[in-house]
A and B are shown apart, each in its own frame.
Chain A
Amino acid sequence: MITAFIHKFSSPKSFVVLTAKLYPYFICIGLCLISLGWIWGLLFAPEDAVQGNSYRIIFLHVPSVIYAELIYFFMAVCALMHLVWRVKLAAYLIKSAAPIGAMITFIGLFSGSIWGIPTWGTWWQWDARITSTLILFIMYLGILTLHGSFSNLEKADRLMSILVVIGVINIPIIKKSVDWWSTLHQPASISVSSGSSIDPSMLYPLLISVIGLGFVLISLGILSSRSYIYTREKNKKWVSEYV
């Protein structure tokens, strides 16, 4: 029953048709929310008593690193679906999400490095959180390189999925690194279990930025995945009828 359900709702055609309808709404919501979050955070949120105005990097840095991890987790779920149920769409989504994951991880690393200059006095430190995030960035590049090195695309999909599943071990390490090791990077300021240590005047624009960036990245994912699906399924009848 699960297999039948997955196959029914995971056909590339259904995905393309549905996401083409959703794209304009997602990009509008994303741009509105991220503009609101960033304008609020950059211009209206008060200056931090300890870090001064450098803390305003948080409104880009935190959403970036959240999605750097979430995109990889999404890819791992897709990889399992591809390996267990042979869902083609899942492999297409991994291939489309990996460059977005690499881009957003780069932004997370870059913003963190720049933030480190005024707050830590250094742009780089080989501490657990930063190093594990760098490994995540390398994983994204490795996944893309691995897939690009095979001419047999089905084999490339399978090996890419295996690599993604192996690499998911890094996600809890990134998440827990600040608790397991004594690091320069501060512990999490927002937690599902213990709430937030951030003042609401800073927390609200941060949450809006997180949601806004999510919609923007989903929109980007829709564009990337549609073009990749067209490329892979170009000989299928539905593609020539739909385009």
Chain B
Amino acid sequence: MFDLAFNSLDEILQMNGHGIYVWSVYVVGITAILVSFIIAKKRLREAQEKIRVANASS
């Protein structure tokens, strides 16, 4: 169960001709999730900053 299914890095990338499909899916999926996290963190920081500014001015 824990034997590597491939013999080389090239085999991992190629996956017998299916590498382009498999890796493109993971690249797009991970990118979409990462971008969502970056946007969410940015919005949270902005919301907190606005409240701090409002607090300071009042």
Task: Name A residues whose Cβ lies closer than 8 Å to a Cβ of B.
Answer: 38, 42-47, 52-54, 56-57, 60-61, 64, 99-100, 103, 106-107, 110-111, 114-115, 117-118, 200-201, 216, 220, 223-224, 226-228, 230-231, 234, 239-240, 243
Docked complex: B1-49 residues within 8 A CB-CB of A:
1-6, 12, 15-19, 21-22, 24-26, 28-29, 32-33, 36-37, 40-41, 43-44, 46-48
What are 25 A-B pairs at a CB distance below 8 A? A38-B26, A43-B4, A43-B12, A54-B22, A56-B15, A57-B21, A57-B22, A57-B25, A60-B29, A64-B29, A100-B36, A103-B33, A107-B29, A115-B25, A117-B21, A118-B17, A118-B21, A224-B40, A224-B43, A227-B44, A228-B47, A230-B48, A234-B50, A240-B51, A240-B55
- Which single residue of chain A is at the shortest CB-CB distance from B42? A227
What is the CA–CA distance of A46 and B36 in the complex, to the nearest angstrom? 32
> Which residues on A sit within 8 Å (CB–CB) of B15?
52-54, 56
| Chain B interfacial residues counted at CB < 8 A | 35
Task: Name B residues whose Cβ lies closer than 8 Å to a Cβ of A.
Answer: 1-6, 12, 15-19, 21-22, 24-26, 28-29, 32-33, 36-37, 40-41, 43-44, 46-48, 50-52, 54-55
